Amino acid sequence: MSGPPHLAAIQLIAGRPLVVCDADEVLLQFLGGLEAYLPSQGLYLDLEGYALTGSIRRAATGEPLVQTDVGALIKAFHETAGLALQPVAGAAAALADLATTAQIVILTNVAQDLAVGRRANLAGHGMDYPVVPNSGLKGPAVSALAARAQAPVFFIDDIPHHHASVAEAAPGTHQIHFVADERLFRMAKASPHAGLFTSDWAEAGAHVRARLDQDGG
């Protein structure tokens, strides 16, 4: 599995541990930013489940947006307010600590033309690491990165189907199911492929550090 075509541009050091980390709801407050954006579109958030479809409603009627409209909304959000999201508490400090012994790559499902803006958003909050824009499941990209790293690999993401994809494509990857927003965290079901399910970067960072120490990283 080769992963995204532009993955080859990411420079990795063979033999150095690798942390592959999502952005939305892991490093950046996606749901909080979206919730603040919705009133400008005549919408509001009525969180009834982990999925956004059914949880975004029209202010005038209370009618929920259908899936295609939600997709268009999220695309518009990513292109505007989504480029100025606030950081998740503790994320920058945890990554800075891990970066002393591991390589950090941000693997995020945004369009390729938004990758520069996303990196700028992250860098503005002390998280200036390579950003890989991805489409679809993340297993192929993690597999390609792991093949180049030839070292312990950690995958941190909020979406269960990405964890399942990584478990299949890159077995042996240490996985952390991380959901920053406490409302979503309470609704989420822990991925069976993850060794840790958390909303706390102090816990996540300590978990990775412990495995690195155990593996001699």
Q: Which listed CATH number (3.40.50.1000, 1.20.1260.10, 3.40.50.720, 3.40.190.10) goes with 5-29+86-215?
A: 3.40.50.1000
Instruction: Assess contact for 166 and 142: CB atoms under 8 A.
Output: yes
Q: How far apart are the first and last CA of the chain?
A: 26
Name beta bridge partners: 153: 18
Hey, how many other C-beta atoms are within 10 angstroms of the C-beta on 187? 14
- Tens-place pLDDT, residues 161-191: 999 999 999 999 999 999 999 999 999 999 9
Q: Domain map of the chain by residue range?
A: 5-29+86-215, 31-83
pLDDT digits (tens, 9 = 90+) for 92-141: 999 999 999 999 999 999 989 999 999 999 999 999 999 999 999 999 99
Residues 6 or more apart whose Cβ sits within 8 Å of residue 3: 134, 140, 141, 142, 143, 144, 145
Cβ neighbours around 50 below 10 Å, total = 17
Give the closest residue to 164 by CA, choosing from 204, 194, 198: 194
What's the pLDDT score for residue 118? 95
